[in-house]
Structure 1
Amino acid sequence: MAPLPVLDDAFIPELPNRYKGKVRENYDLPNGNRIIIATDRISAFDRILACIPFKGAVLTQTARYWFEETADICPNHVVSYPHPNVVIGTTLKILPVEIVVRGYLAGTTSTSILTKYRNGEREMYGVILPDGMRDNQRLDQPLITPTSKEFDGGHDEPLSPQQILEQGLLTKEQWDTVSRYALALFKRGQELSAKNGLILADTKYEFGTDKDGNIVLADEIHTPDSSRFWIADSYEAAFAEGKRPKSFDKDFIRGWVNERCDPYKDPIPKIPEDLVLQTSDVYLQAYRMITGRSFERDTRADPLTSIREALRPYFS
């Protein structure tokens, strides 16, 4: 059986002003728009772990579903979709604060509220959590846990609303706006996910400002990469047993890596091929469950070839 094609890199020399992120490749166009290509790279612990077949297209098309379902809540950056892996968006000045909304005491990273809670912290992100909470317990109300947005690949750091304002990262008006948008987006995400048998446990949002200073939702929204989804009917039993509910998120690979090394310091072990394929299946299943739509897999050739053809009108 031939290996499935993956998009591990999206360098297109005919396109201008390239910026390579952990997962996405970006090209700034002279007209003020940006080409954003989602590769199949999977990132966690501030590192690239592997490439997952079809992941980039799944993320782009899942975000497309959510951008369309939340367009009435706040403006987003989308202009068009010339290819399943590609979105043309308005170029924004990204705000230096990443907005994470959490509905449950969960997570595995150093900035997650569960990690901090297990370490004995009770005051975090400007709020105080009570003693006696259990892993994956539902919070009384969704909690915004902002972190610094490190553009140079450094570690994101937890922030409180007071620190955000004192450090001048956002104005009071900007903070109020992104908070209002984030909570409304999260509520919509939880409601639509519940209808499809899913729990949206937590997610991250990135916002930027356009040329007129308006705050606009950027990047992605409610995808398996940016969010923690649980299978709803697995939650009660898992919570009672102190286990993690069945999920679609990056913890599928994160957990495997975390068991074998310190992912922030040690070399990352090679991810087994069967785990890569299982993860690909998880992303495809997540798309079907989140959107209620089927996903057409393109296994014919190198994805970069079809991306280049779709973006030919934008070549310099």
Structure 2
Amino acid sequence: MSALELAGYTHVYSGKVRDLYAPLDDAGEVVPDQLLLVASNRLSAYDWMMAPEIPDKGAVLTRLSLWWFDQLADLVPNHVVSTDVPEAVAGRGVLVRKLDMLKVEAIARAYLTGGGLEEYREKGSVSGVELPEGLVDGSKLPEPVFTPTTKAPVGEHDLPMTPAEVEAEVGAEVAAEVSRLTRAILARGNEIASARGILIADTKVEFGVSPDGSGGLVLADEVLTPDSSRFWPADLWEPGHPQPSYDKQFVRDWLTSAESGWDRKSGEAPPELPARIVEQTRAKYVEAYERLTGQTF
């Protein structure tokens, strides 16, 4: 993952799918309170980086996040400062406030599937939240539930966190607010998306706070994108089996299919994605963007 050379910026960090740069002032010193967040076309699944990359993915996620930040502005402030960025990253770079990020992956679920379904089948609950009996894959939950995980380094797995562990990490007051806001963001997301033919089954959001401790929680990173959420076509929703999706679940499904020949438990890197899977993944991301925003990509 080689970083770009951007005039006026210095490379700080590259994560699974994002690159961070610090702006420099006229004297060549790092501007302390801002970062340039660049969404790459990289795609990660099952904690592995996929090859090849998905064309336009970074631009789709950036545009969609910016659109959602506007829809959520009355619920929670966000980290966006400006979209005036170097030409080399135009469309997928955003200048943002530098925050101290909470070490919690804030996840809310409106429908039961994936890891939440596995835990429910085992315990009848998800992240300590008791759920009604008789739920199946794709069941709508009575209301969105907060199911946080740890924020693991690249190459390691995020692990479920109990409410007590979240409180130990960020304090009771912040933990309660993270839970409230995460569920409110998913509820607002579904209000808007369901009118446009998409159900948001679950989502992951990230929060930070100002380094000086002023103000409350700030929504950061990305929000309600096909990378951070499960998007289902509303007209095809049918509990009882996995749902078709507009997100990277499509890639996960190929990886675990007989065609890929990959054993997820082997510890070996997955195979390269076939060209048609790459093309279809791009098409799904673009379709989700266009259906949600009503804008042509």
The TM-score normalised by the length of structure 1 is 0.83
Contact 1:37 1:86 (C-alpha < 8 Å) held by counterparts: yes
1:76-134 Cα distance to aligned partner (Å, 9 max, x none): 10011132111110011110111100011112xxxx2112234x232431222344221
RMSD of equivalent CA atoms: 1.6
Shift, 1:291, TM fit: 0.8
Classify the secondary structure of the residue corresponding to 1:148.
Answer: coil
Amino acid at match of 1:247: S
Contact 1:209 1:216 (C-alpha < 8 Å) held by counterparts: yes
Following the alignment from structure 2 to structure 1, what is the Cα–Cα distance between the partners of residues 200 and 276? 27
Whether 2:125 is the aligned partner of 1:98: answer: no
2:22 alignment counterpart: 28
Shift, 1:177, TM fit: 1.6
Q: How does 1:186-205 map to 2 (within 5 A)?
A: 186-205=186-205
Following the alignment from structure 1 to structure 2, what is the Cα–Cα distance between the partners of residues 140 and 292? 29
Amino acid at match of 2:219: L
Following the alignment from structure 1 to structure 2, what is the Cα–Cα distance between the partners of residues 263 and 16? 37
1:302 alignment counterpart: none
Shift, 1:17, TM fit: 4.1
Shift, 1:13, TM fit: 5.7
2:42 alignment counterpart: 41
- Please, which of 115, 123, 130 is the counterpart of residue 118 of structure 2? 115
Contact 2:106 2:149 (C-alpha < 8 Å) held by counterparts: yes
User: 4+ residue runs of structure 1 moved beyond 6 angstroms?
Assistant: none
Q: How does 1:259-278 map to 2 (within 5 A)?
A: 259=257, 260-263=261-264, 265-278=267-280
Shift, 1:212, TM fit: 3.3
Q: How does 1:161-172 map to 2 (within 5 A)?
A: 161-165=163-167, 168-172=168-172
1:24-68 Cα distance to aligned partner (Å, 9 max, x none): 110123221010111101111111113101100000000000001
**Looking at both structures, which has the greater relative contact order when contacts are Cα pairs under 8 Å and sequence separation is at least 6?**
1
Following the alignment from structure 1 to structure 2, what is the Cα–Cα distance between the partners of residues 291 and 154? 34
Following the alignment from structure 1 to structure 2, what is the Cα–Cα distance between the partners of residues 175 and 209? 13
Amino acid at match of 2:211: K
Following the alignment from structure 2 to structure 1, what is the Cα–Cα distance between the partners of residues 136 and 14? 39
Q: How does 1:79-90 map to 2 (within 5 A)?
A: 79-82=81-84, 83-90=90-97
Contact 2:247 2:281 (C-alpha < 8 Å) held by counterparts: no
Shift, 1:19, TM fit: 0.2
Shift, 1:275, TM fit: 1.0
Q: 1:199 to 1:106 in 2, by over 3 A?
A: same
2:248 alignment counterpart: 250
Classify the secondary structure of the residue corresponding to 2:207.
Answer: strand
Q: How does 1:1-316 map to 2 (within 5 A)?
A: 10-12=3-5, 14=7, 15-29=9-23, 30-31=30-31, 32-50=33-51, 51-82=53-84, 83-107=90-114, 112-118=115-121, 120-165=122-167, 168-213=168-213, 214-235=216-237, 238-239=238-239, 242-259=240-257, 260-263=261-264, 265-295=267-297
Mark the runs of 5 or more structure 1 residues left unpaired by the alignment. Answer: 1-7, 296-316
Amino acid at match of 1:149: K
The TM-score normalised by the length of structure 2 is 0.88
Amino acid at match of 2:20: N
Contact 1:74 1:216 (C-alpha < 8 Å) held by counterparts: yes
Mark the runs of 5 or more structure 2 residues left unpaired by the alignment. Answer: 24-29, 85-89
Contact 1:145 1:158 (C-alpha < 8 Å) held by counterparts: yes
Q: 1:9 to 1:199 in 2, by over 3 A?
A: farther
Identity %: 40
